[in-house]
Amino acid sequence: MVAGNAPVIPRSLFDPVRTITSTIAIELGETAFNTPHFFSLFALGFILFIIALATNLIAESLFRREKRSFTL
């Protein structure tokens, strides 16, 4: 709600946007199974999973590096 929840491509940093999570939640109820729209929402979920996985792997790497520097 803070981002504005507008389903348009923003032209500036201050324009409203819709997050990937809210797009999936809002539009999934409107789509039929085995349609291109359904599969595009599924692809958005996969992209969101990859972003979360990459963030967690980077954070874990930084945590291990800091932990190693304190033990030396």
Residues 6+ apart with CB under 8 A from 6: 15, 16, 17, 18
Q: What pLDDT score does 30 carry?
A: 84
Contact at 8 Å (CB) between 31 and 42? no
Q: For each of the chain's 72 residues, which pLDDT tens digit applies?
A: 567 788 888 898 888 888 899 899 999 888 888 999 999 999 999 999 999 999 999 999 999 988 887 765
Task: Give me the residue spans of the domains in the chain.
Answer: 20-71
Contact at 8 Å (CB) between 3 and 16? yes
Distance CA 67, CA 69 (A): 6
Q: What pLDDT score does 1 carry?
A: 56
Around Cβ 1, how many Cβ atoms within 10 Å? Answer: 5
Question: What single DSSP character describes residue 13?
Answer: T
